[in-house]
Amino acid sequence: MSDDFLIRGVKDIEEIEKVPYRERVKEKNTIEMLEKGAALNPEAPAISFLLNGDTYESPIVIPYSQLIGRIRQTANMFHDLGIGAEDVVTYVLPNLPQTHYVLWGAEAAGIANPINPLLEAETIKDICASAKTKVLVALGEMPGTEIWQKIDAIRKEIPTLKYVVRVMGPSDEAENIIGYDEKIDTYPADRYTFERDAGPDETASLYHTGGTTGTPKLARRTHYNEVIMAYDLKIMGGLENGITMLCGLPLFHCNGTLVTGLAPFSFGGHVVMLSPMGYRDHSIMKNFYKIVEKYKAETFSAVPTVLSVLLDIPVGDADISSLKYAICGAAPLSVELFKRVEAHTGMKILEGYGLTEGAVASAINPKDGERKVGSVGIRMPYQTLKTAILDDNGEYVRDGKPGEIGAVAISGPNIFKGYVEETHNKGIWLPDGSFNTGDLGRIDEDGYLWLTGRKKELIIRGGHNIDPAAIEEPIYKMPNIKMVAAVGRPDPHAGEVPVVYVEIGDGENTTEEQIMNWAREHVGEKAAVPKEVIITRQIPLTPVGKIFKPALRWDATRRVYEKELQSLGLAAEDFKVEVGEDKIQGTRVIISVKPGPGQNIDALREKIAQLLARYTVYYEVKEMG
């Protein structure tokens, strides 16, 4: 049965769905899918690994025979270390070929649990405790990274931990530390040494998704969640055997592991891994277009931050005609940035939407059909996408009508089985079993989803989720603090960055600098340390006494837009910025300006458009009366 589909809109999705998903996607687990993909052409390149951007012409090439062999060896090693179907292997690794071996080897033997290496040691320990980690895999001591130092500091404090596996480092049997590179070749690469045929509903992975320090939030995903997602990505992306994709997103996040991992590996695609640091490696970004030319890359997955950087890099004489499109998600993309990047590169941008809880993606603009700029596209095959109207207590009232803003809800075979910690499962399911994402949006008559806000209040910095509580809770522990509220402030590169509003006790003289220093020392994740502390006389509250965060987000937006407009040389009395709720856009900024001598409003509008091109919050410019 051919899977060569032309996806132009929802009707084409419905045509695919005439065949039940279990008939169309028969692999029960991720290992079956990987084995099938590797068998298509064992000597074809699966991975080309770049040490950095300056050595892009000298990759480490790993053919499919080696990829699947290493996955088998790694699975055999984990089994030998006592990992069974319900045991967890946690890894703390940068983007390396070994990261794929560990991830898929862990899913073959037991359950994989990826962790962000940039998290602080205490946060890593908390996640391992919640996951009940039995084997912990980490990078050995390397210049420029503190991964091993963090793991060494906490490994004896994880009650369930039996072994630490050190990648690029020696064994220490007295400490139950296994040197991965020393031991891996002692296991067979041509077969599995254990019997396991993982069922589709068995747990494959636990992904950390924006939990607070001390109370991690781990999404439990099944094998079939990931298998059906790889299929959906293949269909919606028009991916085929031989395609070359660039991987620059981290392999602790499901975008990196599925969009540029399981999906291309399932059909023999070629993945170019852009160094251990991915897009955070300046040498990679500097040479990005040369890398595209060298490998004839057709597509890559990115967040708006990456596209913003690429816009500032000249294409020069690089031939990037192979580049068809980029898949962009995780955070809103401004319409202006969208248009400029397409003009700069000649490729299409397919903006999409998804969550860790939905395996990675639930909607995307169709590559063969209408791409509605500003929307996140249409639903993917075998998934249901709707909005729901909820009451003030968050209880379901009814489904939303076309164009009506409501809570975005998703369902389908890609949806996770709930969080490991039962406290996080309260109120996440609607009566029909749909997952309430916490996002707000509207679905138009053609089935395109338009996001308008977030009820769950996560701060999304460059595609990375930050729970406001991870900032607020440590600051509340500071003496003389009365009330704390962290929100996202618009940022031209990261989409948004965290800022924190603080109300201090009467008669206290605590300064913003003191609070910032406290936050730097006590917030458990560097990315979550606020960019600004704003001491306010009174934090706004709802009628029932809850902090009204929309007002703070509006204030943070007003402040940053006012600062940008000051660069135009306008006097304070010649412009005004007002921010508030909008029923269609979610948030609207009204900029009132008074043109100076010799200026007209149209010219001023163009200057403002250039100034605010990289911000995602909707705005209008009006002439002051």
pLDDT in tens, 298-348: 999 998 878 888 988 999 999 999 999 999 987 667 777 788 899 999 999
Q: Which residues contact 118 (CB under 8 A, 6 or more apart)?
A: 525, 526, 527
On average, the pLDDT of the chain sits at 92
Q: Which residues contact 470 (CB under 8 A, 6 or more apart)?
A: 211, 212, 213, 523, 524, 525, 528
CA 439 to the chain's CA centroid: 15
- Is CATH 3.40.50.12780 correct for 10-437? yes
What pLDDT is attached to residue 215? 60
Q: Give the start-to-end residue ranges of the domains of the chain.
A: 10-437, 459-539, 554-623
Task: Write out the DSSP string of 252-300.
Answer: TSHIIIIIIIIHHHTTT-EEEEETTTGGG-HHHHHTHHHHHHHHT--EE
* % the chain with pLDDT above 70: 97
Q: What is the pTM of this model?
A: 0.83
What is the pLDDT confidence band of residue 212, given thresholds at 50, 70 and 90?
very low
pLDDT in tens, 151-169: 999 999 999 999 999 999 9
CA neighbor of 9 nearest in space, from 451, 373, 450, 446: 446
Task: Write out the DSSP string of 296-349.
Answer: T--EEEE-HHHHHHHHTS--TT---TT--EEEE-SS---HHHHHHHHHHH--EE
Q: Which fold has domain 554-623?
A: GMP Synthetase; Chain A, domain 3 (3.30.300)
What is the pLDDT confidence band of residue 545, given thresholds at 50, 70 and 90?
low
CA neighbor of 485 nearest in space, from 474, 469, 466, 506: 469
What pLDDT is attached to residue 2? 47
Do the two domains 459-539 and 554-623 of this chain adopt the same fold?
yes
CA neighbor of 518 nearest in space, from 482, 478, 473: 478
pLDDT in tens, 60-110: 999 999 999 999 999 999 999 999 999 999 999 999 999 999 999 999 999
pLDDT tops 50 at residue 287: yes
Helix (H, G, I), strand (E, B) or coil at 490: strand
What is the pLDDT confidence band of residue 571, given thresholds at 50, 70 and 90?
confident
pLDDT in tens, 511-528: 999 999 999 999 988 889
CA distances from residue 287 to 283, 294, 297 in whole angstroms, order as listed: 6, 10, 13
CA neighbor of 292 nearest in space, from 265, 327, 324: 324
pLDDT tops 90 at residue 423: no
Identify the CATH homologous superfamily for domain 459-539: ANL, C-terminal domain (3.30.300.30)
pLDDT in tens, 429-471: 999 999 999 898 999 999 999 988 766 677 888 878 787 888 9
CA 564 to the chain's CA centroid: 28
pLDDT in tens, 573-606: 889 999 988 877 778 899 999 887 777 888 888 8
Helix (H, G, I), strand (E, B) or coil at 377: coil
What is the spatial distance between Cα 128 and Cα 85, in angstroms, rounded to a whole number? 17
pLDDT in tens, 1-30: 346 688 999 999 999 999 999 999 999 999
What is the spatial distance between Cα 428 and Cα 548, in angstroms, rounded to a whole number? 22
